[in-house]
Chain A
């Protein structure tokens, strides 16, 4: 049921306006005095110098996860590009030679100008190969072409930037768990 708002008539004093205007002036004066003497209470954050921490599950620039040997974990199943509502992911597949998987991505491109950062690719991926947890929110480039991120860009990340309890990131080359993961990788039979 809709809420009925009671509209009351203005009193004589309110209609005379001057008193109400004075009240309004008093209200703004309070803000002014507070802002002048208690500058720190203003909500403004001076951005490039002070950066508000971005939460871990914020959907930002994508990255491709890596196997212990540094290859992309992607198996070129096209699930992400199928799930993508903006159709910004372009994948070309080729045969994987190393015996662990059948297919791998030859080309994996994300057009950031088309991407809507919905996170559906992350959810669709069966092997946790694509993630959006880089916290990179400011992407700057000179031309449209540079906003199309290729495989090399997407694989360019450092395990040191990710939390130590994020095992999937730590199993990449340079990560804390990489040695252990490589042993399993060499002795194991794929997934």
Chain B
């Protein structure tokens, strides 16, 4: 029975490749838009707080609150307030995407050796240059690790948003009676692949950043 379900799922993928591709693109669009916005908010904020060595409480509080908020509930609140639509889902995803990037960026910059920063200051670099040329490059692997966690969260939640009219692969998963088990399994495989590819790309980016910054002993 399991074997036949497997065959049915593969057949569904073969027969509905176009639909699955289109829905995967929809989920990816929603997820990456939200991820982009959350990085635009979290990265500068984390860099600034980390550079000033201030806001430890904010960085820690945001990260534990972010973990505690159930994604379904945030999507629900946004829909209740703004109605079903692109913005309600995007805002919900942005809210969930901010904490990991913010916290990691904060600790990445905060943890840069203070002697190195002092040396840069002594060489006459402005605070902005120190941040951009010293602290960010040194902390980059850890920043990218944070963005990776954000990406995983956001892709997972983008799928859930699809259950409530957000479009994408969640559409298929929500319509069990129409697509059947093979259809929902196929959609689940697509979104898993999307998440693994996204996470994999960010792992490569982090590794190459870590490699470049590794002290050549």
Please indicate whether A and B come from the same complex rather than being unrelated chains: no
Residues of chain A having any CB pair with chain B under 8 Å: none
